[in-house]
Structure 1
């Protein structure tokens, strides 16, 4: 009897992988909660980050050991002329709407009422010290060329960084990061740094391609700080052609979203575009709250705020006035053909980025995921259905040897998902025990 060969010897390695390239002083797995810029834009009285000590303690209570933030390096260390602004930063959000509310009230991340002032440099020190007391490490990133500046009352922050020529922005970021890292080191808090990202989602920000100047900036910063993991993140890395990803990245901090049925809805209602004639179209109008104003009646944020962010005025209007229940009903009615595809997409994308990281022998991190950007009070990702996809992504990440993972981009104090406390504890225990 003859044995058939059938590719024996070419199978993938059996069993789960372990993370590679993790500095010895850092946790061997990261359970990450995404605090982004919200840790300073939602810091008013009674808001989720008003008390950083309490916020850190709460994160630990839910099983997290890492937080990922915008450290605003350009504001704090990139422009000396902004030092006064940084020490007395007035948070406004996207501004007052004509009905007495504020723009962005129905969105995630942009639901910033503002109305308070902060010393951002002092606040960063307080956060790092609180993190140390509670055993948390911090992933430092910048969202400044994506949206952070739009929440300030003054346009000076945006105007200063926007004046930097496109081809010089990575070098400018690297210089500011070098100064910030030195400042953290002088405070005796360097050990709290889990990773430094030159910028969040360079492929979805007001930045050029990373190749060339971006790679040189990364390597220069890595040369100055060889003990730190220094990288840049991608919102959508080329999963089908990972050989195109820059070898200058010190870690694979990539994001994995599978929009699926959500993308079908977004395209149908044309909510991410701008200047669309006839907006809102009939499908979007059918999903709006009773009594919703027209876009002309509602108005829009100041022009400079829209230039400072990647979110459009159509998206702000639509999310502010959509009925979350009708939104979720539409998704539930149309999701069946997408379910298997979305699950496979999450698993294959995680496998691709983790495989690239193992090939490069650097840590892999899924710093954002899984289903996409939804209205603030929609329950799509928080539902049992949505959490099943999140669990699929987390489990795929652990099998593939990913070092750090979010449970969901929405699992943070400024989102309703934070109230799913037992689910977070269960999932974080799974992450840290793996």
Structure 2
């Protein structure tokens, strides 16, 4: 008998009892009928230096509205601001170090910046108020946010919290952050809150089974930690929806999603053709195992690419290699890829994966929608579609990728999602931001269908 089979009767009984006793927090009045989401992640404070995409928050917000968005999703740096004890009145952020990560999506921070972090958070909310935008609060802190700090203090403070207590620590910090925003009279801009981004991956799961080796075991072991965190937040803000979110849709372990979520959030990255690359080149493995000669022989690397094993941060910056969970082979490949060759590589192989990718998307969205309906909570796709491509690659903006974005919007409508994205790359920190027409058309299409079914709202 497998471990999972042995647990099944007890899990079923436990789930039934809990599901009957927990009533999800409904959405407040005044939120959009559907959320069109652009992913600002940690970039909105990390990339505020001269010439960076968030140097002017007003401009970024106006461009979001022009493209049809009504919601931004951010790392609100809650632990830094309200859990670390660090003085953030003059907080220094900047590149990871040298050229490392400079051609990697989300990592290509160019300029040093100095922010009063709490004041910067209020400036964001004031900007959202002026432009009638809403925000999904989250955290990337146990995955990469602290790697962009000049000092390791933030990372050391995060690491200092025992792994089993990290969701609760985040919950307390987020609750204090909501207090801070509400005291400024801007709490109505919050659509809902997430304890953390993609909870199966990163330093939230230390000491638990590996996601790639035992996803069901990880989900089962992680749930009590997450439920404790959600309960902590609910105690402080019983009328404020809170949740967690998942990379992909964990179709083999939905029973281990916390029973006290108020929104179901998933990130359906279907990969498909990209999975072929990830597996063939072991991009999530050790740098020592990266098949460098094979990749060079395929013509995918630039001629000036250094030996893969030398592409690391060292000295005073070495700690940043731990503070980010980005695969070290993947960073090397993205930094030194020949983008044109890589795009051709994907196009040549895409047709083999076309039906698989569409089938996976449909299956995942159906499972997510059914689960949300069973729990009586709204459904949101806050990231997703194809996957992690090189910064200057055009596969997801090109004819195949853009068609997949349009298809995913139709699928989001079909399953009754409350919120969705055009694509994770459709944000000011990515080249795809320049494709205004695609974003306007996708967002207009999603908003054209009116109120999302099954979304409960609080009475005034």
In structure 2, which of residues 214, 225, 238 is the aligned counterpart of residue 226 of structure 1? Answer: 238
Corresponding position: 1:136 with 2:133: yes
**CA deviation string 1:363-390 (max 9, x = no partner):** 1110000101011011111111011112
Instruction: Give the Cα separation in 1 of the matches to 2:188 and 2:320.
Output: 36
1:94 aligns with: 96
**TM-score w.r.t. length of structure 2:** 0.86
Runs of 5+ in structure 2 lacking a partner? Answer: 1-24, 206-220, 450-460
1:264 aligns with: 276
Question: Aligned ranges for residues 203-282 of structure 1 at < 5 Å?
Answer: 203-208=200-205, 209-277=221-289, 279-282=291-294
Q: Which moved more, 1:56-65 or 1:231-240?
A: 231-240
Q: Check the 8 A contact 1:22/1:28 in 2, yes or no.
A: no
2:428 aligns with: 413
Instruction: Give the Cα separation in 1 of the matches to 2:142 and 2:182.
Output: 25
Shift of 1:278: 6.1
1:401 aligns with: 416
Q: Cα–Cα, structure 1 residues 114 and 233, in superposed 2: closer, same or farther, change >3 Å?
A: same
2:62 aligns with: 57
Instruction: Give the Cα separation in 2 of the matches to 1:332 and 1:421.
Output: 24
Q: Check the 8 A contact 1:41/1:114 in 2, yes or no.
A: no
Corresponding position: 1:429 with 2:441: no
Instruction: Give the Cα separation in 2 of the matches to 1:22 and 1:431.
Output: 19
Corresponding position: 1:172 with 2:169: yes
Shift of 1:284: 4.5
**CA deviation string 1:370-419 (max 9, x = no partner):** 10101101111111101111222111111111100011000000001001
Shift of 1:221: 1.1
Shift of 1:35: 0.2
Q: Cα–Cα, structure 1 residues 75 and 108, in superposed 2: closer, same or farther, change >3 Å?
A: same
In structure 1, which of residues 3, 26, 31 is the aligned counterpart of residue 31 of structure 2? Answer: 26
2:142 aligns with: 145
Instruction: Give the Cα separation in 2 of the matches to 1:324 and 1:410.
Output: 16
Q: Check the 8 A contact 2:251/2:364 in 1, yes or no.
A: yes
Shift of 1:240: 4.1
Corresponding position: 1:73 with 2:78: yes
Q: Check the 8 A contact 1:300/1:313 in 2, yes or no.
A: no
Corresponding position: 1:370 with 2:385: yes
1:44 aligns with: 49
Instruction: Give the Cα separation in 2 of the matches to 1:425 and 1:164.
Output: 43
Instruction: Give the Cα separation in 1 of the matches to 2:290 and 2:377.
Output: 49
Instruction: Give the Cα separation in 1 of the matches to 2:230 and 2:266.
Output: 16
Shift of 1:224: 2.3
Corresponding position: 1:350 with 2:365: yes
Q: Which moved more, 1:117-126 or 1:410-419?
A: 117-126
Shift of 1:171: 1.3
1:292 aligns with: 305
Q: Cα–Cα, structure 1 residues 26 and 210, in superposed 2: closer, same or farther, change >3 Å?
A: farther
1:10 aligns with: none
**CA deviation string 1:126-153 (max 9, x = no partner):** 0111101111000000000010000111
